[in-house]
Amino acid sequence: MVSLLDIIGPVMVGPSSSHTAGACRIGLFAREMAGGQPETALVELHGSFARTGTGHGTDRAIAGGLLGFPPDDERLRQSLELAEQAGVQLTFENTKLRGEHHPNTARLTLMRDGRKAVVVGSSLGAGRIQITEIDGYGVEVTGAFPALVFVAKDTPGIVASVTGALARQGDNIATLKVSRAKKGGDAIHIYELDRPASEEAMQAIRALSAVRFLRSIPRIA
């Protein structure tokens, strides 16, 4: 079914929901994966983003997202200048990503507090996004739900431990996906929730010896 949002698009600073609203949300998601405002950001634009992104404000939209601005924030128009003032070192490059990707795709490589976060995301239209890669792991995240994103050693019982920690605090899981490079190695876990995870659940999950890294991502879409 086609919704009114699909027809008229979201409330945003223009001109294009794909090149601005969606691009801004990709930046917002990447910011959350970095744990906040990055110190440096390499933004690689693929496909249509590379061909027309600058003219359509994609660079400003992504920069605004990295600064924490939502798609309807008037500051998006000055986001490149504001990023410079905030000390964020931004670099934009055109690229051709390997494999199959949506035409409106960007790869963001962020550095914050000595940690690197790499996010590949696509803008699907009407402000909707699809995150397809996090730190080299293939994922499917839309930003439509609050989410827990964490990397853990691939060991028996880790999913049960995490779901138990969430259940004890009444945090309900909407979707769950685990992706691993190899058996017994590290795996990325994506838990989309009906509400943001409670701090108690987060503390319990962080305390698990198998968990290497954990982020709580708010609803982006």
Give residue 18's pLDDT. 62
Measure the CA–CA gap between 16 and 9, rounded to whole angstroms.
9
Give the pLDDT score at 60: 96
Domain boundary among 86, 104, 135: 135
As a whole number of angstroms, the distance between CA 32 and CA 35 comes to: 5
Residue 47 is classified by DSSP as E
* Between 7 and 80, the higher pLDDT residue: 80
Asked whether 139 and 132 are in contact (CB, 8 A), the reply is: yes
- Report if residue 36 sits inside a domain: yes
pLDDT band at 221 (very low <50, low <70, confident <90, very high): confident
Residue with tokens 């009906």: 194
What pLDDT, in 10s, does the model give residues 135-182? 999 999 999 999 999 999 999 999 999 999 999 999 999 999 999 988
Which residue type, as a one-letter code, is found at position 219?
R
Per-residue pLDDT tens digits for 186-219: 999 999 999 999 999 999 999 999 999 999 999 9
Residues 108 and 176 in one domain: no
What is the percent of the chain with per-residue pLDDT over 90, rounded to a whole number? 85
Strands lying side by side in the sheet with 137-141: 89-95, 40-47, 104-112, 115-125, 128-134, 137-141
Say if residue 28's pLDDT is above 70.
Answer: yes
Instruction: Establish if 82 belongs to a structural domain.
Output: yes
Does residue 192 belong to any structural domain of this protein?
Answer: yes
* pLDDT at residue 16 in the model: 61
The whole domain housing 171 covers: 147-217
Residue 209 in domain: yes
pLDDT at site 8: 40
- The packing angle between helices 22-34 and 58-66, to 10°, is 30
Rounded CA gap, 57 and 66, in Å? 14
Could you say which of 105, 135, 165 is where a domain stops? 135
Identity of residue 172: N
Residue 13 lies in a domain: yes
pLDDT value, residue 17: 58
Identify the residue with better confidence: 102 or 53: 102
- 131 lies in the same domain as 188: no
- Identify whether residues 207 and 171 lie together within a single domain: yes
Give me 55's structure tokens: 């003219």
pLDDT digits (tens, 9 = 90+) for 5-24: 444 444 445 556 566 999 99
The average confidence (pLDDT) of the chain is 92
125 and 175 belong to one structural domain: no
Output the DSSP codes for 126-181.
Answer: TTEEEEEEETTEEEEE-SSS-EEEEEEE--TTHHHHHHHHHHHTT--EEEEEEEES
Place of tokens 């509400």: 195
**130 shares its domain with 157:** no
* Whether residue 124 sits in one domain with residue 19: yes
- Looking only at the bridges linking them, the beta strands covering 211-217 and 147-153 are antiparallel
The pLDDT score that the predictor gives to residue 101 is: 93
What pLDDT does residue 4 have? 44
CATH number at residue 178: 3.30.70.260
Q: What is the CATH number of the domain that holds 59?
A: 3.30.1330.90
Question: What is the reported pLDDT for 122?
Answer: 97
Q: 151 and 123: one domain? A: no
How many folded domains does the chain comprise?
Answer: 2
